[in-house]
């Protein structure tokens, strides 16, 4: 059953109940007068809190669907979504699905070049974007001729786009009569590739439905729950965790910001029961408590029953600290990747907190195995590549049969992560087969940064690796080999890197020779062995 039917079901049975709440604490901190902001009903950016019911959610999705169908959108067309988290995000997603077209969420950190690349790779016909991206879209709009419709979600629509609010407001809220099957294509998400540019991951409607069932099975959402969603909705992790709330017809809060005091304030004000955090956010909350910056007793937190973490390895010491401050919380972690419809293919389980450090066992209706380089299962305790199998596995890498053949073999998805299994059947990640760096839950692609660094006139060679970090999991480290005779400094490289997006800038710059093997490949294991073991380097750079 397509997930669009779940939305219609919720609207029919619980139409007047709240489905989504958006909270923007920055508005409250900046406002000069509460009345000043309450009067501006039409500008979402100037309101602290907004909410919609299940019926309003479904109506908004239907209005967008009818608009797109009226403009010639057909089954198989693709619609890009380039928005910050907001109350409109999920109704837009569902509106696209209701047409039979494919939703294509885009990372809001993408540069102009990356946006153009992903729109072209996914063959997008429509792009819906917010005011934060006007400059980026303006810079590439003449370079994306296949995108025939540019819809702007905001108050001051640029001349090159059309207003989402104006065009959808007059459309019918009656659901379009479009037949959708579980086998139909539903969405394209983007993941990293070894070349540094994302691959387009194609999922069917069946995979999205499987994500709903998997999440609710793991975390037991009921209609009494309230899920706090902080991570970006373009990411499968955030959306697929929310799918459990969709299936349970329970409310969710979209928090625009990650400050510890904001998290606890919203949990208290909105009676939140489930919170999904990334490691650095949990670390920030604990630090704020232990430094006396926030006091849990000042908030209503008794109803908060579950804290779970995903997107990166979780230090057992972090969970030990968490339980000291929140002893009544259940804790869980999920492993997943965009190719497996996000989190849940491997699942720790709240009853297995004694196994913190492991990513868990096979999730609901998932199979797992660890194999050697020939695809044969390894012995218990040996390291091999983690493979997963289930209804949530992607259909393919869109327009990339070679990459698909490398990752999908006999129904198994080869994750690229090296792992081992203990005597109790719990899986532990050992290393990543790919050279991705995960910092604060975000994937960093070393090749992109290396190519940028090598463009510096004084740089002979560059290598980028991840160094362990107390808060972010990893930080980006750049090893720079200067050209002979060049007097290059770390400060000069740091200044040069200001042209990169902030999250991609190296946090550690090291002037050293870049080792390469006889075939010309960078010997990153040697670099990791040399620098990851020197804790003083990490502490000196990060302040931990």
Cβ–Cβ < 8 Å for 359, 346: yes
Element (H, E) at 431: strand 427-432
Q: Which alpha helices (DSSP H) does 179-235 contain, by range?
A: 205-219
- Percent of the chain past pLDDT 90, that is, above it, reads 72
Secondary structure string (H, E, C) spanning 95-114: HHHHCCCEEEECCCCCCHHH
Asked if residue 234 is part of any domain, the answer here is no
- CATH code (residue 501): 3.30.300.30
* Nearest Cα to Cα of residue 213 among 334, 337, 20, 364: 364
Q: Is the predicted pLDDT of residue 214 greater than 90, yes or no? A: yes
Strand-strand pairing, 306-310 and 330-337: parallel
Q: pLDDT band for 528, please (50, 70, 90 cuts).
A: confident
Q: pLDDT band for 270, please (50, 70, 90 cuts).
A: very high
pLDDT average, residue stretch 479-487: 89
Between helix 54-70 and helix 3-14 the angle, nearest 10°, is: 130
pLDDT average, residue stretch 66-71: 98
Cβ–Cβ < 8 Å for 476, 483: no
**421-460 pLDDT, tens digit each:** 999 999 998 766 667 788 887 777 787 788 789 889 898 8
In total, how many domains does the chain have? 1
Q: Measured between alpha carbons, how far is 372 from 69 in angstroms, rounded to an integer? A: 49
Q: Structural domain of residue 508, as residue ranges?
A: 440-542
Asked if residue 4 is part of any domain, the answer here is no
Asked if residue 50 is part of any domain, the answer here is no
Asked if residue 444 is part of any domain, the answer here is yes
Q: Which residues contact 109 (CB under 8 A, 6 or more apart)?
A: 442, 501, 503
Asked if residue 99 is part of any domain, the answer here is no
Asked if residue 42 is part of any domain, the answer here is no
pLDDT average, residue stretch 86-111: 96
Asked if residue 91 is part of any domain, the answer here is no
Q: Is the predicted pLDDT of residue 543 greater than 50, yes or no? A: no
301-315, 357-371, 374-388: least confidently modelled range: 301-315
Q: Which residues contact 219 (CB under 8 A, 6 or more apart)?
A: 241, 244, 274, 306, 308, 332
Tell me the β-bridge partners of 84.
none
pLDDT of 360 reads 95
pLDDT of 208 reads 97
pLDDT of 350 reads 94
Q: Which residues contact 420 (CB under 8 A, 6 or more apart)?
A: 370, 381, 382, 383, 384, 427, 428, 430
pLDDT average, residue stretch 78-83: 98
Strand-strand pairing, 18-23 and 102-105: unpaired
Between the alpha carbon of residue 139 and those of residues 116, 134, 159, 198, 457, the distances in Å are: 10, 9, 13, 21, 27
Element (H, E) at 264: helix 260-269
Cβ–Cβ < 8 Å for 470, 542: yes
DSSP label at residue 376: P
17-31, 38-52, 59-73, 437-451: least confidently modelled range: 38-52
**246-256 pLDDT, tens digit each:** 999 999 999 99
Main-chain dihedrals φ then ψ at residue 406, nearest 5 degrees: -75, -30
Main-chain dihedrals φ then ψ at residue 377, nearest 5 degrees: -60, 140
pLDDT of 372 reads 94
Asked if residue 508 is part of any domain, the answer here is yes
Strand-strand pairing, 274-277 and 306-310: parallel
pLDDT of 222 reads 97
Tell me the β-bridge partners of 522.
516
**368-413 pLDDT, tens digit each:** 999 999 999 999 999 899 999 999 999 999 999 999 999 999 999 9
**174-200 pLDDT, tens digit each:** 999 999 999 999 999 998 543 457 899
Tell me the β-bridge partners of 307.
275, 331
């Amino acid at each position: 059953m397509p997930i669009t039917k779940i939305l219609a079901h919720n609207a029919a049975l619980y139409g007047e109940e709240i489905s989504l709440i958006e909270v923007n604490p920055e508005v409250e901190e900046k406002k000069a007068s509460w009345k000043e902001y309450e009067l501006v009903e039409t500008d979402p950016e100037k309101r602290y809190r907004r909410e919609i019911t299940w019926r309003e959610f479904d109506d908004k999705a239907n209005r967008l669907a009818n608009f797109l169908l009226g403009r010639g959108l057909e089954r198989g067309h693709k619609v890009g979504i380039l928005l910050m988290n907001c109350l409109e995000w999920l109704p837009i997603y569902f509106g696209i699905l209701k047409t039979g077209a494919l939703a294509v969420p885009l990372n809001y950190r993408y540069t102009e070049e990356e946006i153009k690349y992903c729109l072209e790779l996914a063959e997008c016909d429509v792009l819906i974007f917010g005011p934060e991206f006007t400059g980026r879209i303006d810079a590439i709009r003449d370079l994306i001729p296949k995108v025939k419709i540019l819809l702007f979600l905001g108050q001051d629509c640029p001349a090159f786009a059309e207003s989402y609010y104006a065009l959808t407001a007059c459309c019918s809220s009656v659901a379009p009569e479009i037949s959708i099957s579980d086998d139909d294509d539903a969405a394209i998400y983007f993941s990293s590739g070894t070349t540094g540019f994302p691959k387009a991951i194609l999922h069917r409607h069946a995979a999205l439905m499987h994500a709903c069932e998997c999440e609710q099975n793991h975390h037991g959402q009921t209609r009494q729950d309230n899920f706090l969603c902080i991570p970006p909705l373009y990411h499968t992790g955030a959306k697929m965790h929310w799918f459990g709330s969709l299936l349970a017809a329970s409310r969710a809060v979209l928090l625009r910001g990650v400050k510890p005091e904001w998290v606890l304030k919203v949990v208290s004000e909105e009676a939140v029961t489930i919170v999904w955090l990334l490691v650095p956010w949990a670390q920030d909350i604990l630090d704020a408590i232990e430094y006396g910056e926030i006091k849990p007793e000042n908030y209503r937190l008794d109803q908060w029953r579950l804290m779970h973490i995903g997107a990166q390895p979780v230090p057992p010491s972090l969970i030990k600290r968490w339980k000291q401050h929140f002893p009544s919380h259940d804790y869980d972690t999920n492993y997943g990747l965009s190719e497996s419809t996000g989190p849940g293919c491997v699942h720790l389980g709240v009853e297995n907190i004694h196994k913190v450090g492991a990513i868990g066992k096979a999730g609901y209706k998932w199979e797992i195995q660890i194999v050697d380089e020939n695809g044969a299962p390894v012995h218990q305790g040996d390291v091999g590549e983690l493979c997963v199998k289930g209804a949530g596995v992607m259909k393919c890498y869109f327009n990339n049969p070679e990459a698909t053949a490398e990752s999908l073999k006999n129904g198994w998805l080869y994750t690229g992560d090296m792992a081992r299994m203990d005597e109790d059947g719990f899986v532990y990640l050992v290393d990543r087969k790919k050279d991705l760096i995960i910092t604060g839950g975000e994937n960093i692609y070393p090749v992109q940064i290396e190519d940028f660094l090598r463009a510096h006139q004084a740089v002979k060679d560059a290598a980028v690796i991840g160094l362990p970090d107390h808060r972010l999991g990893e930080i980006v480290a750049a090893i720079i080999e200067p050209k002979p005779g060049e007097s290059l400094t770390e400060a000069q490289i740091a200044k040069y890197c200001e042209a990169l997006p902030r999250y991609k800038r190296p946090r550690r710059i090291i002037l050293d020779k870049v080792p390469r093997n006889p075939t010309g490949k960078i010997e990153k294991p040697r670099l990791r062995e040399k620098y990851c073991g020197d804790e003083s380097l990490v502490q000196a750079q990060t302040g931990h």
